[in-house]
């Protein structure tokens, strides 16, 4: 646990954020979040614009903050769309991605003038029909699957040869069908790809972008003019979950991209990005109270209140989504000293509900806190109602000049009644 996290946790404990009804609390370090967005904006030239992938953290305060920091918003469902609008995003600075768009959501997005990435040729026909009666200000283009292969996590790789996303570029006839569609419909003025969202190397990402830019160049040559003006390269910058080090950085990606696809850096195209996990992951953490410790088969087990309901991927795919954990005492102070092998269990009623197994940590005692690192994206913001557990409170935390911590409620602790109403 780093010093910032320790200060935040100690202040949170002192302010009474934990009790028997609030045994899991999550935090977003808003100062570090601001630094992250600033590093993104500085890494790329001014003709790049950046949308935040709302799926990574759909909370209203999260969206409002990235909007205020200068980002647009990429949404992929009707719910994300409405949340982004309520957060105050200008539709012109939004992009809609979803492989199963209904006629109603297409009409909604086109009516608002939100950028639209078309997933397939059947969807193109629907869009064309809507535009016949209702012209739109939306920037529209195809999502392309460049079919460059998978990264280290197949479930997170969206540019495999059989991916469900986009038009498969290398399938027989698709390249020419795409070019023909662009030439026949001059309102198609953008193009989009997204190679993956964790476990993909910079080389794989830039290879996918390069294939799509080559297609854009081919379309523009065939059109005799620059019909495709915007290239949306998606997001997917991988996050380092092994330490506090931020690697790769946005600058690393920009440098790799400029070498592999220099056409994006000439100003010929306006370029959009859709980063999500890399914006929030390392700027959030979860703390949970340890209720009991026990031994089984010679293994020490710390039973906490955080499991799959806030760390779904880590619990169900531990080999791919292992996260760091650390221990604090009952005051929130980091525990150090003699380390012993321990398991950290969650509260859910299945044996696999484990945050970590065989972890060398200072000896955990009842009343201590276990901290789950790098959980600002896709963790507490996406609660899972297994065992009808309530969603935890989330605080935005800013460390003040005098070393105090200013907390802002981003989400109140869900009540049992509200949770039951949501379940139905």
CA distance 122 to 81: 22
Phi, then psi, of 268 in degrees rounded to 5: -65, -40
Quick: pLDDT tens for 212-264: 999 999 999 999 999 999 999 999 899 999 999 999 999 999 999 999 999 99
Q: Rounded to an integer, what distance in angstroms lies between the CA atom of residue 365 and that of residue 136?
A: 61
CB 312 within 8 A of CB 391: no
Q: What is the pLDDT of residues 330-375, one digit of tens each?
A: 999 999 988 999 999 999 999 999 999 999 999 999 999 999 999 9
| Mean pLDDT along residues 299-327 | 96
The larger pLDDT score, comparing residue 154 to residue 285, is at 285
Residue 337: per-residue pLDDT = 86
Domain 31-280 belongs to what architecture?
Alpha-Beta Barrel (3.20)
Q: What token pair was written down for 258?
A: 């400029």
Question: On the CB side of 151, how many CA atoms lie within 13 Å of its CA?
Answer: 25
- Band of pLDDT at residue 152, cut at 50, 70 and 90: low
- Write the DSSP string, 66-118: HHHTT-EEEE-SHHHHHHHHHTT--GGGEEE--TT--HHHHHHHHHHT-EEEE
Q: Are 285 and 376 in contact (CB under 8 A)?
A: yes
What's the CATH class of domain 3-28+282-423? mainly beta
> Quick one: which of 366, 236, 372 has its CA closest to 312?
372
Q: Alpha-carbon Rg of the chain, whole angstroms?
A: 23
pLDDT digit string, tens, across residues 156-214: 556 667 767 899 998 899 999 999 999 999 999 999 998 877 777 899 899 999 999 99
Do you find a cis peptide bond into 248, omega within 30 degrees of 0?
yes
Where exactly does CATH 3.20.20.10 map onto the chain?
31-280
CATH 2.40.37.10 domain position(s) in the chain? 3-28+282-423
């Amino acid at each position: 646990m780093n010093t910032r996290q320790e200060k935040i946790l100690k202040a949170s404990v002192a302010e009474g954020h934990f009790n028997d009804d609030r045994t899991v609390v999550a935090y977003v370090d808003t100062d570090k979040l601001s630094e992250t967005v600033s590093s993104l904006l500085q890494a790329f030239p001014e003709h790049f614009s950046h949308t935040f992938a709302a799926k990574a953290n759909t909370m209203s305060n999260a969206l409002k903050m990235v909007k205020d920091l200068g980002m647009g918003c990429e949404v992929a469902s009707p719910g994300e769309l409405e949340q982004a609008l309520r957060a105050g995003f200008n539709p012109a600075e939004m992009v809609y991605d979803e492989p199963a768009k209904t006629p109603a959501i297409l009409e909604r997005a086109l009516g608002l003038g939100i950028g639209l990435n078309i997933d397939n040729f059947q969807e193109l026909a629907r869009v064309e029909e809507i535009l016949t009666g209702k012209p739109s200000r939306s920037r529209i283009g195809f999502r392309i699957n460049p079919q460059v292969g998978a990264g280290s996590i197949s479930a997170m790789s969206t540019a495999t040869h059989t991916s469900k996303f986009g038009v498969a570029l290398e399938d027989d006839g698709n390249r020419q069908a795409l070019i023909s569609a662009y030439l026949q419909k001059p309102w198609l003025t953008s193009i989009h790809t997204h190679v993956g969202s964790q476990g993909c190397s910079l080389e794989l990402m830039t290879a996918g972008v390069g294939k799509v830019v080559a297609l854009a160049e081919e379309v523009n040559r065939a059109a005799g003019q620059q019909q495709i003006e915007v290239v949306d390269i998606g997001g997917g910058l991988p996050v380092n979950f092994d330490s506090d080090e931020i690697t790769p950085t946005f600058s690393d990606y920009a440098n790799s991209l400029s070498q592999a696809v220099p056409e994006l850096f000439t100003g010929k195209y306006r370029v959009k990005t859709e980063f999500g996990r890399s914006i929030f992951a390392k700027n959030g953490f979860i703390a949970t109270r340890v209720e009991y410790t026990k031994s089984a088969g010679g293994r020490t087990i710390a039973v906490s209140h955080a499991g799959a309901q806030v760390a779904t991927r880590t619990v169900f795919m531990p080999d791919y989504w292992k996260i760091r954990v650390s221990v604090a005492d009952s005051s929130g102070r980091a525990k150090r000293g003699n380390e012993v092998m321990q398991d950290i269990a969650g509260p859910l009623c299945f044996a696999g509900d484990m945050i970590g197994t065989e972890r060398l940590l200072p000896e955990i005692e009842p009343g201590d806190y276990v901290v789950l690192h790098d959980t600002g994206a896709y963790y507490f913001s996406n609660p899972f109602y297994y065992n009808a557990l309530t969603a935890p409170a989330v605080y935005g935390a800013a460390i003040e000049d005098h070393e105090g911590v200013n907390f802002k409620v981003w989400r109140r602790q869900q009540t049992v009644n509200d949770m039951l109403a949501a379940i139905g």
